[in-house]
Structure 1
Amino acid sequence: MLKIALGQIEVIPGRPDLNTGRMLSMIAEARKEQADMIIFPEMSIPGYLLGDIWEQQAYLRDCEAFGREVISAAQHICVIFGNVAINWEKRGDDGRVRKHNACFIAQNGRLIGTRIKTLHPNYREFDDTRHFFSLRKLALERKQDIETLLEPVKVIIKGEEYNLGCIICEDGWNDDYSVDPIAALTADGRSDLLINISSSPFTLGKNNKRNRVFSKQAQEAGIPLIYVNNTGLQNNGKTVYTFDGFSTVYNSNGQIIAYCQPFTEKLEYIQLDIAAGGQSLGPVNVPDDFTIDSLHQCISYGVKKFLQAINMNKVVIGVSGGIDSAVCAALYASILNPADILLVNMPSRFNSQTTKDLSYQLAQNLGCLYTVMPIEQSVEHTAAQISDARITDLSSGRQNKLAVSSFVLENIQARDRSSRLLAGIAAAFGGGFTCNANKSELTVGYSTLYGDQAGFLAALADLWKHQVYQLAQYLNTSIFRREVIPQATIDLVPSAELSFDQSVDEGKGDPIMYAYHDYLYRAFMEYWNRTTPEDILAWYSQGSELLEQKLGCAPGLVDKLFPGPRQFVEDLERWWRLYTGMGVAKRIQAPPVLAVSRRAYGFDHREAQNSVYFTQEYIKLKNRLLSETLG
């Protein structure tokens, strides 16, 4: 029987000093509790998502030094932790000093084993191959079979010998790789216990899948499996990720027998009977992480940690009376003192009394500071300056003037609110101003650059519009337990209110039909094999029922929205052009996005500014479909 401590720590990226201090504290506590072993996550000393800090040799030397401190602290306890391993005599593929993502096993104040990460993810937010030399590359260099390098680590605890199969994060997600580290480590009963140290960002529903995958691995190997993940917040510049921990222990039957609460730094103990495969402990139920509760927990945790990381404790939010700004306001009000939140309503002549009243009601419900700053006068001044300016061709002396169209006037309003007012107010208030954009808007660029797409963080930009509504209801019913977001705001037609054509009192709103377009856009950017107009049109041509099934939208919706193929094609091409055209240009300059989904904008959705393209097969399908309709 081993008493094992799961060191689910909050890893602060780029602060090996703070991380090591917390680890040493946990080691001392675990030793006091007479634990036999303590396990920390992957890259628990340096952090994981560090950008090109990995190219700083001074930083690497610090990580090595802090690693030696942890090894020295392994007295009367076995310590397993993640750190960068450096081979100063070798070079990586980039010509820099060779670095490995490694698992260190220490006991009696000395290092007894190091295991290098075998599989390096190079998708989504991961870019391991940019910096680290994998075990696969090492095997190739040495002309050895990789399986010969995958050896368990032998430790002796209480006079008993244990073979530990130590793997790192992606090594446990090996279905699509040609190498199976777990099979190599567990063949012929070589390992007594599997240990997966990870630094795995939260994704809605990811733990549900992990539990299925890891349960199967433990069952097939016939030995217990321990998964230890970190909490905290890390980023790669454009995309911000929360780490939920959710460290879990599986017995040899694949049953979950212990876990750490998500989004909580925790030192959790478990008495594990290795010989009995951990079956002396009964199975426990774990929470479903594909729920609105998990979604809110992730966003709330992420916003709170982001504010702490940038040392911001005051926030300015532009509130319009609409759903996005209302949810943003309620979210921040649940995290900060309402007295540190300034809600600003900035009406023009196009804003209805309805939305102005809803903005006031929201502020009153939340107890936040509130002000109204009309923009009509300044917008008229800007429009007049532009339209009255004489543009001179210096080569000919000819002059003309610029016309301010209704579209240009809409953009002037949006930029006046953000670039001028909110930016200035935030500076005077001593804080920052938020970006309230949602994922649907970001997908097709339905926002104004340097206008409503500006801000220090886009906390809702990985939520489709229907998820924003779900979050609004959840904030009212489960967080505040009263109606802080007015029901009228939830019922209101979504509208930018930048012209009389967007009058909410007349039921006029956004051109996006969210009940359908949320799911179309999701297919464009979230599906693992991302769809194109060719796929969409192929499904549509086989019947709208098939398309609705593939997209996941409500049955009968497509035929209700589009009378025929021509209208359907026009809509499809409109949004595809925006998604792959102007939307890209705007996203490149968007604020950091807080990630919650299987693919978020930013580094998780790498894109280039190219011209819009329709495949040859799409053009054939389109022409055939439209000609059949005409015939």
Structure 2
Amino acid sequence: MPDSPDQGSTTGRPGAHSGDRSEPRPATFRLTLAQLNATVGDLKGNAARARSAWEEAKAAGADMLALPEMFITGYNTQDLVMKPAFHQAAMAQIAALAEGCAEGPAIAIGGPALEGAELFNAYYILQGGKISARVLKHHLPNETVFDEVRLYGSAPVAGPYTVGDLRIGSPICEDAWHDDVAETLAETGAEILLVPNGSPYYRGKMHIRQTIMVSRVIETGLPLVYLNLVGGQDDQVFDGGSFVLNPGGGLAVQLPLFGEALAHVDFTRGPEGWSAAKGALATMPDLMEQDYHAMVLALRDYMRKTGFQKVLLGLSGGIDSAIVAVIAADALGPENVRCVMLPSEYTSQASLDDAQAVAEALGCAYDFVPIDKGRAAITETLAPLFEGRAEDLTEENIQSRLRGLLLMAMSNKFGEMLLTTGNKSEVAVGYATIYGDMNGGYNPIKDLYKTRVFEMCRWRNANHRPWMMGPEGEVIAPRIIDKPPSAELRADQKDSDSLPDYPVLDAILEILVDGDGSVEDCVKAGYAREDAAKVENLIYISEYKRFQSAPGTRLSKRAFWLDRRYPIVNRWRDG
């Protein structure tokens, strides 16, 4: 690594370029965009992926290859990046990449950087076998899933860097959501804006990104390249969707959502400055498909990146486990999904039939493991202690916990990750048994309210895409979608016995959780104060369960875990 590469190359600062040049400037510039799936911590693997993309860029005659924010480490690293051995190894990989890619296009790649003893989120420019420039992030997001103020220093805004004879400004992710960085870059000579991102998905975010980036283009008069990561990392999904905007805000190139892509974008300098040639415009799917694709990609990557190949889940005959089974089949292939039915005396024949129908429609393995003998043994063991006490929730939870025990035993024996199947409505109010049906390594529908689960099942029955590995057609019978939800832990049990009907419950939850509203807000929206106060109390007393729950795909800006951090011990109520 060179001793002190500039935060924006010296040649890119104001005054570095004279208007009197002995040679005419080239009128074209080919930029290769690499919308790729990095793995957190896989420094050598991420560097190898960058090198492979560079080879393709070189073969295409590109002047520069651009990779997303923090690509060398993967993203979001959380506190891992603060470990000295880790960030030093990441910087060494970048230096080695520069040396190994000396002959060919420049490389722009995200990674950590040190200035003195302070750590920064940086964008490195590699040319001619060395690091020729380094941009350090100025605005540090410290909301929702981001804690960058905890991790990095905030650098002063620097000028553009130069590749060939083109001056490029690179606001790093959050820097482009504010107008000052792009404005400074334009004023100091930038001719295009290249914005590297690690921007995770939430519903409707693509429209927000494009709106903000159009603002940067209008303000500066410069073309803008928005380059995003793709892939799952724990609960977060980076959805790609990279795009190029020309001066005026017109869309020149649109890469697909949720898929890797490599695109060569040709810029031409005309009398009004630089602009990008029109390229492919990927179709943007509707929000239902985006949510579903996010869950599939998140599970697929969680499995691949943690080293698991197969999953199992308890298939109850209900709608939640059915959609999780379908997501798993689409993510991993039906041959890698084991569905297990664990009936008790309260399990209806209809549920048995429905569970088997889902497994058969998908082509998944199906196991039938009754729990009645195990339950009888546990009941007998506890009888002396419980003598004289009426049956209550305890006995219901024994059934759920016995199922959890058996599923975890199968997970251990077969080396298959157990999926848990609680929707956001249940997770919010604690309508799940800790160490029972909450057991599992991942929950694809953790951020999907029950009412949206119903919609998602109908959508999947009617739609199939090439990225789905499960079969097309009606994989969840309408009777499963239409029947009243029930945990079937006692005779004639229905979810509505304990909770408001799901349309009411979900609407209240959207106010209290997603909107961070009050009981009074629920009343103003037309809901009963008694229902709103009950739901609020359930949310708070269930915090300890969520603290111990499996990670799951983030689909909203208010997902449980990093988006919403509440104390477990909490006596405050507003209703």
TM-score, normalised on structure 1? Answer: 0.82
1:571 to 2:545 alignment: no
Q: How does 1:554-593 map to 2 (within 5 A)?
A: 558=527, 568-581=528-541, 583-593=542-552
Q: CA deviation at 1:502?
A: 0.8
> What residue is the counterpart of 2:15 in the other structure?
none
Amino acid at match of 2:382: I
> What residue is the counterpart of 1:153 in the other structure?
161
1:458 to 2:478 alignment: no
- Root mean square deviation of aligned Cα: 2.1
Change (3 A) 1:282 1:431: closer
CA distance in 2, matches of 1:284, 1:19: 26
> What residue is the counterpart of 1:424 in the other structure?
409
1:88-137 deviation line (CA, Å, top 9, x unaligned): x33xxxxxxx11101112322232221110000111111111121111xx
Q: CA deviation at 1:278?
A: 5.2
CA distance in 1, matches of 2:82, 2:302: 25
1:410-454 deviation line (CA, Å, top 9, x unaligned): 111111111x21111222333122100100100010100011111
Whether the aligned pair in 2 keeps the contact of 1:387 and 1:402 (CA below 8 Å) is no
From 130, 138, 154, the counterpart of 2:150: 130
Q: CA deviation at 1:404?
A: 5.1
- After superposing the two structures, state which structure 1 stretch, 126-135 or 401-410, moved more: 401-410
1:278-337 deviation line (CA, Å, top 9, x unaligned): 556458755445521111111111111111112222222111110001111122122334
CA distance in 1, matches of 2:218, 2:279: 14
1:186-218 deviation line (CA, Å, top 9, x unaligned): 23x732111111111122211111011101211
Q: CA deviation at 1:357?
A: 1.3
1:215-264 deviation line (CA, Å, top 9, x unaligned): 121122111001111122223xxxx2111221111001111101222222
CA distance in 2, matches of 1:203, 1:344: 32
1:369-402 deviation line (CA, Å, top 9, x unaligned): 2222222232233233223138xxxxxxxxxx57
Q: Tell me, what secondary structure is at the counterpart of 1:61?
A: helix
Whether the aligned pair in 2 keeps the contact of 1:27 and 1:38 (CA below 8 Å) is yes
CA distance in 2, matches of 1:229, 1:130: 23
- After superposing the two structures, state which structure 1 stretch, 198-207 or 474-483, moved more: 474-483
Q: How does 1:359-370 map to 2 (within 5 A)?
A: 359-370=355-366
Identity %: 28
Whether the aligned pair in 1 keeps the contact of 2:445 and 2:553 (CA below 8 Å) is yes
1:264-288 deviation line (CA, Å, top 9, x unaligned): 2222101112445555645875544
1:107 to 2:107 alignment: no
From 614, 617, 623, the counterpart of 2:573: 614
CA distance in 1, matches of 2:138, 2:390: 59
Q: CA deviation at 1:509?
A: 6.1
> What residue is the counterpart of 1:562 in the other structure?
none
1:497 to 2:493 alignment: no
Change (3 A) 1:606 1:270: same
> What residue is the counterpart of 1:261 in the other structure?
256
From 405, 416, 423, the counterpart of 1:438: 423
> What residue is the counterpart of 1:398 in the other structure?
none
> What residue is the counterpart of 2:16 in the other structure?
none
> What residue is the counterpart of 2:267 in the other structure?
272
> What residue is the counterpart of 1:526 in the other structure?
514
Amino acid at match of 1:599: R
> What residue is the counterpart of 2:205 in the other structure?
206
CA distance in 1, matches of 2:354, 2:331: 22
Amino acid at match of 1:262: L
Change (3 A) 1:336 1:78: closer
Amino acid at match of 1:312: F
> What residue is the counterpart of 2:555 in the other structure?
596
Whether the aligned pair in 2 keeps the contact of 1:494 and 1:509 (CA below 8 Å) is no
CA distance in 1, matches of 2:160, 2:273: 17
CA distance in 2, matches of 1:23, 1:36: 15
Q: Displaced runs of 4+ in structure 1, greater than 6 A?
A: none
> What residue is the counterpart of 1:6 in the other structure?
33
> What residue is the counterpart of 1:140 in the other structure?
none
CA distance in 2, matches of 1:305, 1:378: 36
Whether the aligned pair in 2 keeps the contact of 1:205 and 1:290 (CA below 8 Å) is no
> What residue is the counterpart of 1:378 in the other structure?
374
Q: CA deviation at 1:588?
A: 0.4
Whether the aligned pair in 2 keeps the contact of 1:255 and 1:283 (CA below 8 Å) is no
Amino acid at match of 2:255: C
CA distance in 2, matches of 1:71, 1:82: 13
Amino acid at match of 1:181: V
CA distance in 2, matches of 1:364, 1:464: 26
> What residue is the counterpart of 1:18 in the other structure?
45
TM-score, normalised on structure 2? Answer: 0.89
The number of residue pairs the alignment matches comes to 540
Change (3 A) 1:363 1:129: same
Whether the aligned pair in 2 keeps the contact of 1:387 and 1:403 (CA below 8 Å) is no
> What residue is the counterpart of 2:335 in the other structure?
339
CA distance in 1, matches of 2:308, 2:95: 35
Amino acid at match of 1:593: G
1:151-170 deviation line (CA, Å, top 9, x unaligned): 12233x2xxx3221111000
Whether the aligned pair in 2 keeps the contact of 1:226 and 1:250 (CA below 8 Å) is yes
From 317, 322, 327, the counterpart of 1:326: 322
CA distance in 2, matches of 1:524, 1:484: 34
Change (3 A) 1:126 1:32: same
Whether the aligned pair in 2 keeps the contact of 1:83 and 1:104 (CA below 8 Å) is yes
Whether the aligned pair in 2 keeps the contact of 1:206 and 1:289 (CA below 8 Å) is no
Q: Tell me, what secondary structure is at the counterpart of 2:153?
A: coil
CA distance in 2, matches of 1:278, 1:253: 12
Q: Tell me, what secondary structure is at the counterpart of 2:168?
A: strand
Amino acid at match of 1:416: L
Q: CA deviation at 1:74?
A: 4.3
CA distance in 2, matches of 1:56, 1:285: 41
Which of the two has higher C-alpha Rg? 1
Whether the aligned pair in 2 keeps the contact of 1:224 and 1:274 (CA below 8 Å) is no
Q: Tell me, what secondary structure is at the counterpart of 1:124?
A: coil
Whether the aligned pair in 1 keeps the contact of 2:511 and 2:521 (CA below 8 Å) is no
CA distance in 2, matches of 1:509, 1:272: 63
Whether the aligned pair in 2 keeps the contact of 1:169 and 1:198 (CA below 8 Å) is yes
Q: Tell me, what secondary structure is at the counterpart of 1:484?
A: coil
Whether the aligned pair in 2 keeps the contact of 1:324 and 1:437 (CA below 8 Å) is yes
CA distance in 1, matches of 2:382, 2:457: 40
1:309 to 2:317 alignment: no
Unaligned 5+ segments in structure 2 are: 1-27, 465-470
> What residue is the counterpart of 1:226 in the other structure?
225
